Amino acid sequence: MQRTEVTTKETIKYRFPQDFWWGSAASATQTEGAANEGGKGKNIWDYWYEQEPNRFFNGVGPEKTSRFYETYQEDIRLMKELGHNSFRMSISWSRMFPEGKGALNQEGADFYNKVIDEMIAAGIEPFVNLYHFDMPLAMQEIGGWENREVVDHFVSYAETCFRLFGDRVKKWFTHNEPIVPVEGGYLYNFHYPEIVDFRKAVQVAYHELLSNAKAIEAYRKLGGDGQIGIVLNLTPSYPRSQHPQDVKASEIADAFFNKSFLDPAVKGEFPPLLVDILREYDYLPKMEQGDVETIKNNTVDLIGVNYYQPRRVKAKEYLPHPDAPFMPERFFDNYEMPGRKMNRHRGWEIYEKGIYDILINLKDNYDNIECFISENGMGVEGEEKFRDENGMIQDDYRIEFIREHLKWMHKAIQEGSNVKGYHLWTFMDNWSWTNAYKNRYGFVSVNLDQNAERTIKKSGYWFKSVTENNGF
């Protein structure tokens, strides 16, 4: 493997606080591979791929992904080489409990024990997430998050993880982007079970929230001495204009997609605007006695913020058809701002200041809760064409992307934001759900044609210098 050092001779203009968390994030299904090995049960991705391989870019499924299950030692060594002091992974529920409940798969527990130990030995703090889109199939068969029983099974699984790994893991996360399974699975058809049903969507969101609160409660009951939080994709909703109808549209979009999880997770309360809408249209979820207290009393210690793109909205141009299925878009239209900067590979706008706006919002309206950027990154298709004669991918666009976001983060810190770190999505190229290996996000490239060979990209070396200097 070719290694060309990237040296930065610049003087440090953007210095970050001491002990800043530098690292990256990944998830089990996207990296581990070995989907049918080591006693793992099937999850919805394994199943969906069997049923509809055409839904996945180039027909590539989750069975092998980036092979972290076999190569974790080498990968952790590379993380260390790139200056990581922390890394967020997720545990696969169906690797721990093949049926989602019942007997523990000891081989699964052994694997995570080895990974955690290996990271700690390398001086990398493991941040561990319990749910990253990967419902065990057996749980989906009884309704997944639609079914309240699944909340209890999730909490039992979480408790097992706290018991087995909590002596070494001090940063826990219940969910990654819990709005995404709602959007993908129950509104917009990009996750299994491909249902379009607003009532179910609301119930799914509610049960995810309840499972967050109950898992936090369990952690504290067990005497957990670390921190427990949730990772949310906080997508700022910018109105097209300051016209009151545009502003109102953006407030509603914000209530649906950000405050829906942020308010209950941090404040233990539901956003009034969302509750009013759900009540008016008769879509309030089924709740049980005691739930409100459980949610109120079990709020998070910290928030992971995933930020990729802003949401831009405008007042509706046309009234929705009265018989159309109920969707959040009944209240706003998405708005394509002329002149916006795009990552065309992913179809996402790049708006670096969004990261600052999120952090200032958390500071001003959420008691400046401790947080970190838990994902941010740039997926690019066809990166092989940027490989130079020494075999290194010259991803200057990624360096620029990260650098510009870090500058805005730095400004937020100077203004008092309680942001503690920055994790890139992702460490090495991995499997992106239905996009499979279309867009590459890693500091490290994974060559699927060469036995998943890893090579560090230019951005990886650049990041190493940032971590060493604690700034740039």
Given the rule CB under 6 A, which residues bind ligand BGP? 27, 30, 176-177, 180, 233, 306, 346, 375, 379, 425, 432-433, 435, 439
Q: How far is the CB of 443 from ligand BGP (least distance, A)?
A: 14
Q: How far is the CB of 120 from ligand BGP (least distance, A)?
A: 24
Catalytic residue list contains 329: no
User: 360 with 414: CB under 8 angstroms?
Assistant: no
User: Residue 80 has which token pair?
Assistant: 């260390």
Instruction: Please give the Cα distance from 129 to 177 (Å, whole number).
Output: 11
Give me the residue whose beta carbon is nearest to ligand BGP. Answer: 432
| Closest C-alpha among 110, 141, 122 to residue 34 | 110
Instruction: Please give the Cα distance from 237 to 358 (Å, whole number).
Output: 10
* Bridge-based pairing state of the strands 227-233 and 86-90: unpaired
Q: How far is the CB of 166 from ligand BGP (least distance, A)?
A: 24
Catalytic residue selected from 125, 183, 375, 383: 375
* Bridge-based pairing state of the strands 444-447 and 453-456: antiparallel
* Closer Cβ to ligand BGP, 179 or 274, answer by number: 179
User: Residue 259 has which token pair?
Assistant: 């405050």
Q: How far is the CB of 26 from ligand BGP (least distance, A)?
A: 8
User: Residue 405 has which token pair?
Assistant: 């976001």
Q: How far is the CB of 266 from ligand BGP (least distance, A)?
A: 19
Q: Which residues are catalytic?
A: 375
